[in-house]
């Protein structure tokens, strides 16, 4: 999820203009269905790239049109690059997209600014009584429901079975020490260019190493945030990241965007990946379709997967939607058991209720990450967290890449901590 924000002050000002202009009457709407009076209208839904499996889109579209005769459903696919800037601008318009697919850690940002409809009264009607508490945490701000948790997922290790066998490896590792041992075998195996392809700005993976080390990106005390990458535990996590990054040819100054294009060449043995990347690789390189396997990112303790960042998306209704009732109908349909289970099966992401986990059976990525999910955590769920991801992201540009290039970890962490604190403590 690579996001590029506009300048922080400009963003805050723009979002507050959204809050000032939004209609409070829409936040109290309670109907989850439409009527024939809506015929001829168009409901616009923004979904992020990778969040639109064909079977699910077809099912939701058919169900929505059946429930709302004569209404057109306009699903538009968005790219993650610059998405916060784009959504921010859209929410300031009088006719924004009606439903938006938003990253879970970004939800408080939009909610605090008034850009999202308060759907607290709709929670039960949308199936919210059964939502997994940890997933729903990112959709709530100041005790009010501003979005519906849609799915969650995290990183696991994708591996090339053919290269694994060529290295003489007959099982997957259950500890980080075993994984390092396997990487050492893989790097000397014929046909392997990268034992682990790990881009140097892959901070979502780094966040999991931080959690595993008992560290944080930042902590809050007395209402003030302090960056904590300078802590001994965080510096140890950075060293572990550097050790792992050296097992491949991935650039030190790039993110994981399009990393699947390297795996599909057939000479990458392992990669830290999300489930949807497997489908992309299989489509581009059909010969690899049956050669991809998965296992949880290991921890130091056998039987306990490593901690990961719990990514995912929520579905929200724009506060200024001109089709609020239709938007509520869409959410109810998209999140019902049939369609939520279908999305989980097609995408491999965890559904918003454990009752639908049976849909994940046979999906190697999902079965691997399902083991790791109980160990997963979030970055700070606060409105100003989005400022930290503002380009240039200090976690990557001031800390990870400099450390990988040989600069002092302590001084790099201090520079990143100062910038993280500044951004988190900005007035919204």
Would you place residue 346 in the very low, low, confident or very high pLDDT band (cuts 50, 70, 90)?
Answer: confident
Q: Does residue 370 share a domain with residue 293?
A: no
Q: Does residue 239 share a domain with residue 216?
A: yes
2 within some domain: no
Q: Does residue 287 share a domain with residue 238?
A: yes
- Compute the distance between CA of residue 384 and CA of residue 423 in angstroms, rounded to an integer: 7
Q: Does residue 119 share a domain with residue 107?
A: yes
320-339 confidence digits (pLDDT tens): 999 999 999 999 999 999 99
345 within some domain: yes
Nearest one of 285, 291, 323 to 161, comparing CA atoms: 291
Phi and psi at residue 78, in whole multiples of 5°? -110, 155
Lowest mean pLDDT among 15-29, 34-48, 412-426: 15-29
Residue 354 clears pLDDT 90, i.e. is over it: no
Q: What is the mean pLDDT of residues 245-266?
A: 96
Ranked by mean pLDDT, the top range of 51-55, 130-134, 263-267, 339-343 is: 263-267
Give the CATH number, domain containing residue 141. 3.40.190.10
Residue 3 clears pLDDT 50, i.e. is over it: no
Q: What is the mean pLDDT of residues 5-30?
A: 33
Q: Does residue 215 share a domain with residue 75?
A: no
How much is the pTM? 0.77
- Maximum alpha-carbon separation in the chain: 68
Q: Does residue 229 share a domain with residue 189?
A: yes
1 within some domain: no
Q: Can you give the residue range of the structural domain that contains 57? A: 8-153+311-375
Phi and psi at residue 222, in whole multiples of 5°? 60, 30
Q: Does residue 181 share a domain with residue 259?
A: yes
Q: What is the DSSP string of 84-103?
A: HHHHHHHHTSSS--SEEEEE
State the pLDDT at residue 81: 83
107 within some domain: yes
Q: Does residue 96 share a domain with residue 189?
A: no
221 within some domain: yes
- Percent of the chain at pLDDT above 90? 73
In the three-class reduction of DSSP (H, G, I as helix; E, B as strand; rest coil), residue 70 is classed as coil
279 contacts 227 by C-beta, under 8 angstroms: no
Q: Does residue 340 share a domain with residue 267?
A: no
Q: Does residue 337 share a domain with residue 219?
A: no
21 within some domain: yes
Lowest mean pLDDT among 72-76, 128-132, 195-199: 128-132
3 within some domain: no
Q: Does residue 316 share a domain with residue 218?
A: no
- Compute the distance between CA of residue 311 and CA of residue 169 in angstroms, rounded to an integer: 30
301 within some domain: yes
62-100 confidence digits (pLDDT tens): 999 999 999 999 999 999 888 888 999 999 899 999 999
Summary mean pLDDT of the chain: 89
CA angle 81, 86, 89 (to 5 degrees): 160
For the chain, the domain total comes to 2
Q: What is the mean pLDDT of residues 149-163?
A: 95
Q: What is the DSSP string of 154-200?
A: --EEEEEHHHHHHTT--S--SBHHHHHHHHHHHTTSTT-SEEEE--T
Q: Does residue 107 share a domain with residue 68?
A: yes
- Compute the distance between CA of residue 211 and CA of residue 385 in angstroms, rounded to an integer: 17
Residue 417 clears pLDDT 80, i.e. is over it: yes
State the pLDDT at residue 428: 59
């Amino acid at each position: 999820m690579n996001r590029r924000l506009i300048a922080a002050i400009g963003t805050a000002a723009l979002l507050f203009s959204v809050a000032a202009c939004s209609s409070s009457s829409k936040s109290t709407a309670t109907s989850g269905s439409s009527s024939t009076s809506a015929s001829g209208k168009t409901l616009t839904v923004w979904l992020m790239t990778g969040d639109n499996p064909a079977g699910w889109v077809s099912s939701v579209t058919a169900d929505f049109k059946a429930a709302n005769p004569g209404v057109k459903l306009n699903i538009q696919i968005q790219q993650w690059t610059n998405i916060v800037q784009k959504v921010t601008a859209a929410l300031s318009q009088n006719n924004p997209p009606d439903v938006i697919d938003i990253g879970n850690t970004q939800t408080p940002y939009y909610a605090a600014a008034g850009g999202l409809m308060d759907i607290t009264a709709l929670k039960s009607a949308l199936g919210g009584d059964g939502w997994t508490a940890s997933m729903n945490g990112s959709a709530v701000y100041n005790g009010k429901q501003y979005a519906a948790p849609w799915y969650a997922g995290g990183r696991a290790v994708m591996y090339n079975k053919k290269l694994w066998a060529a290295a003489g490896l007959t099982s997957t590792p259950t500890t980080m020490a075993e994984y390092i041992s396997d990487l050492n075998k893989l790097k000397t195996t014929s046909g392997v260019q990268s034992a682990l392809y790990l881009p140097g700005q892959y901070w979502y993976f780094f966040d999991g190493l931080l959690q595993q080390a008992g560290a944080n990106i930042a902590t809050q005390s007395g209402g003030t945030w302090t960056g904590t990458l300078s802590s001994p535990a965080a510096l140890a996590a950075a060293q572990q990241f550097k050790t792992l990054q050296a097992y491949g040819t991935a650039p030190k100054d790039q993110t994981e965007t399009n990393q699947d294009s390297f795996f599909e060449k057939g000479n990458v043995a392992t990669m830290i990946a999300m489930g949807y990347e497997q489908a992309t690789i299989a489509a581009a390189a059909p010969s690899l379709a049956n050669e991809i396997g998965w296992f949880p990112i290991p921890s130091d303790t056998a039987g306990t997967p490593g901690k990961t960042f719990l990514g995912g998306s929520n579905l929200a209704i724009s506060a200024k939607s001109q089709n609020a009732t239709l938007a509520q109908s869409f959410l109810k349909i998209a999140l019902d058991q049939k369609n939520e289970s279908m999305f989980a099966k097609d995408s491999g992401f965890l559904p918003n209720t454990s009752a639908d986990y049976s849909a994940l059976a046979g999906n190697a990525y999902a079965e691997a990450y399902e083991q790791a999910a109980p160990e997963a955590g979030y970055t700070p769920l606060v409105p100003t967290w989005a400022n930290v991801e503002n380009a240039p992201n200090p976690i990557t540009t001031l800390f990870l890449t400099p450390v990988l290039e040989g600069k002092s970890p302590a001084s790099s962490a201090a520079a990143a901590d100062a910038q993280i604190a500044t951004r988190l403590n900005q007035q919204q």
